């Protein structure tokens, strides 16, 4: 009777990952385990380990894709926020510019009104015309009710316009 002694057993250290050893129906493969150590293991265990490694790699790839999608979504949100901020700033600047233009127009209108007021000769507050001939000679006719020099005696028809 021949006695066969196995050179390697399940869990023993090995040197080259991927090498195979078969003896007396035992099919062993050299695999790297999670601890980083290379060991001999049965084919079923090696297949299970390979399947786990593939599943872990797929899960890691999926996690990386999700992280990339999240990062892209964050960047898109940041870009959108930046665009909104830029639009708000542009709207603010436009509103400020419009307000400044309106204020400048109001100031210019006030200055023109003041200039016109100063340019108009003001009639003395106490003007008296003896009759309409005197008012016409002074260039004041016709004289309206409320203007200096108006008096009911010069307004013959009582319509509020004297020396017409």
pLDDT tens digit sequence for 141-150: 999 999 999 9
Q: How far apart are CA 26 and CA 12, in angstroms?
A: 14
Whether the per-residue pLDDT at 163 is higher than 80: the answer is: yes
Total residues found in the chain within this entry: 164
Whether the per-residue pLDDT at 81 is higher than 60: the answer is: yes
Choose between 24 and 97: higher pLDDT: 97
How many CB atoms are located within 10 Å of the residue 19 CB? 13
Entry pTM: 0.40
Whether the per-residue pLDDT at 155 is higher than 80: the answer is: yes
Provide the pLDDT for residue 125. Answer: 63
Beta strands in the chain (DSSP E): 20-23, 26-32, 38-42, 143-144, 161-162
pLDDT tens digit sequence for 49-80: 888 889 999 999 999 999 999 999 999 999 99
């Amino acid at each position: 009777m021949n006695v066969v002694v196995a050179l390697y057993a399940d869990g023993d250290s090995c040197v080259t990952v991927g090498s195979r050893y078969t003896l007396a129906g035992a099919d062993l493969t050299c695999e790297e385990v999670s601890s980083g150590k290379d060991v001999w293991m049965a084919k079923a265990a090696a297949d299970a380990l390979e399947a786990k490694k593939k599943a872990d790699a797929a899960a890691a790839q999926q996690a990386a894709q999700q992280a990339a999608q999240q990062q892209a979504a964050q960047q898109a949100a940041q870009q959108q926020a930046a665009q909104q901020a830029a639009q708000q700033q542009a709207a603010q600047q436009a509103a400020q510019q419009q307000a400044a233009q309106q204020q400048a127009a109001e100031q210019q209108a006030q200055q023109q009104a003041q200039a016109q007021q100063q340019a108009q000769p003001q009639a003395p507050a106490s003007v008296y015309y003896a009759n309409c001939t005197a008012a016409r000679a002074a260039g004041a006719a016709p004289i309206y009710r409320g203007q200096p020099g108006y008096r009911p005696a010069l307004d013959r028809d009582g319509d509020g316009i004297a020396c017409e």
